[in-house]
Amino acid sequence: MEIRLQQAAFLAGDELDGFTARAEGAGAIVSFSGIVRDDSGQLSEMVIEHYPGMTERALEAIAAEAVERWKLIDALVIHRFGPMKPGAQIMMVATAARHRRAAFEAAEFLMDYLKSRAPFWKQEHGPDGARWVAAKDEDEAALDRW
Amino acid sequence: MIDVLYFAWLRERIGLPREAVETSAATVADLVAELSDREERYALAFSDLSAVRVALDQELADFDAPLAGVREVAFFPPMTGG
């Protein structure tokens, strides 16, 4: 299990290759990447604030639960903080399991929990200034299925 | 003494990221009431607690949670990771 919290950009392809090479015995690997989206066409940058200390603990706990519940061979979480341009990769998760269903489900679980239970806050910057992104009710509701 | 941390718009409204607070508040709710009585900016930041989350020593908690033995309290809006 690997958890990385960093300001620097990363190469999802390289990360996935490395993760796959290390996941001995895996028959299925699923990965998800989150990208800075610009719905208005006016986003100059997205800034992610986090809670140093708690963020690492929360990510570790969420990943450990996924590994335990779906008997994963391995799990990877990379999440960036700080300023990012539209189109940049914010984060990725990857899961390795013997079979695909466990890998898919664990990746979805990781994403659902990471969205609402890891202390990150997104702020969008545009021509009218900065705006904190509001949490969606549906993100909170998504936790109920687990 | 308890370290109190603020993040995102709570940090902006209150105007600082962290402070040491001398308090005898028994619960998080008591601490919120105490801070809100102190100055308008706190009262404003805490005016709608449905939009505020709290962590005690870096674990999510409820507003009725006791503060005994707690070293660090953090207030922040619902999280928007991923």
pLDDT per position as a tens digit, A60-93: 999 999 999 999 999 999 999 999 999 999 999 9
CA distance A27 to chain B (A): 26
Beta bridge partners of A15: none
CATH architecture of the domain covering A2-138: Alpha-Beta Complex (3.90)
Backbone angles phi, psi at A52, to 5 degrees: -55, 135
Which residues on chain A are in Cβ contact (under 8 Å) with B79?
A: 115-121, 135
pLDDT range class, residue A53, cuts 50, 70, 90: very high
| Chain B CB within 8 Å of residue A79 CB | yes
| Helix H or strand E segment including A60 | helix A54-69
Q: Do A133 and B60 touch (CB under 8 A)?
A: no
A119 and B80: CB-CB below 8 Å? no
Asked if A132's CB is within 8 angstroms of B82's CB, the reply is no
Q: Measure the CA–CA gap between B52 and B40, rounded to whole angstroms.
A: 17
Instruction: Give percent above pLDDT 70 in chain A.
Output: 100
The domain ranges of chain A are: 2-138
The confidence score (pLDDT) of residue A140 equals: 86
- Give the closest residue to A42 by CA, choosing from A106, A119, A101, A127: A127
Helix (H) or strand (E) holding A56: helix A54-69
CB pairs under 8 A between A and B: 67
Report the candidate in A76, A77, A87, A75 with the shortest Cα–Cα distance to residue A35. Answer: A87
Q: Does the pLDDT value for residue A11 go beyond 90? A: yes
pLDDT of residue A141: 87
B59 has pLDDT over 90 = yes
Beta strands in B1-82 (DSSP E): 2-6, 18-21, 53-56, 59-61, 72-76
Strand A28-35 to A89-97 pairing = antiparallel
Tell me the chain B residues in contact with residue A57 when contact means C-beta distances shorter than 8 Å: 58-59
Interface test with A, best of B10, B75, B80 (most A CBs within 10 A): B80
User: From A110, which residue of chain B is nearest by alpha-carbon distance?
Assistant: B82
Which CATH code is given to the segment(s) B2-76?
3.10.20.30
The minimal CB distance from A132 to the residues B55, B60, B77 is found for B77
Residue A137 has pLDDT above 90, yes or no: no
Per-residue confidence band for A119, with pLDDT thresholds at 50, 70 and 90: very high
